[in-house]
Amino acid sequence: MSLPQPPAGTPLPPTPLRSKQRPPTQLPAAQLRVATIEDAAAIAAIYAAHVLHGTATFELTPPGVDEMAARMRAIDADGHPWIVAARDASIVGYAYAAPYRPRPAYRYTCEDSIYVAPDALGQGVGRRLLDALIDASTRRGDRQMIAVIGDARNLASVNVHRAAGFTPIGTLANVGRKFGRWLDVVMMQRALGEGAATPPEEGAA
């Protein structure tokens, strides 16, 4: 599968699960590249850990490899970026942008998703993925990015987004239930490129 800008496999420039980790200074830097369909199994494994043990996602049953591959193809068909972080040939995190809503007037607004392997948390992988995703979505022509953060206690995600220029725009209280408790959703937003200062293209509505 070939994902947009740049071609699949092309390296990209640097830009509440807990685990025991070596200090980041002892770890080789993760390399960012555009995802390929061959990454689906590794991506599904990372996501499964968050589904089964975390509250960042409200899914309760992890999708299989075939379902994850289908989701990747759907993102590709929309022309949105999907990026992976690899270290020593192993995928340690991924990020993608998707349409915020299906109605056509939302076509210049995207929503980001970022998941990092449990043993790579706290090493800056998520921030680098988010920065690369912002760059790729800006190049695509999107003008706004929305973060829909599961669980208001997920301060790591809130702080990463805030550091990347996102601002809080609201909280949906008690809209999810997982692991026997009600969960809030934190909404954050960031302008991309010129944001709302100019039309997205000549003659655009």
Position 201 scores a pLDDT of 79
The whole-model pTM stands at 0.86
The pLDDT tens digits of the residues spanning 82-111 come to 999 999 889 999 999 999 999 999 999 999
| Domains of the chain, residue spans | 31-146
- Which residues are CB-neighbours of 199 under 8 A, at least 6 positions away? none
By the 8 A CB rule, do 53 and 150 touch?
no
Q: What is the DSSP letter of 56?
A: S
CA atoms of 147 and 190, how far apart (whole Å)? 8
Position 143 scores a pLDDT of 98
Position 15 scores a pLDDT of 36
Of 165, 173, 171, nearest in space to 193 by CA = 165
Distance of CA 97 to the CA centre of its chain: 6
Q: What is the mean pLDDT of the chain?
A: 89
By the 8 A CB rule, do 153 and 137 touch?
no
Strand order of the β-sheet with 90-99 is: 11-12, 31-34, 82-87, 90-99, 109-116, 144-150, 181-191, 167-178
Which portions of the chain are predicted below pLDDT 70?
1-27, 202-205
Per CATH, the homologous superfamily of domain 31-146 is Gcn5-related N-acetyltransferase (GNAT) (3.40.630.30)
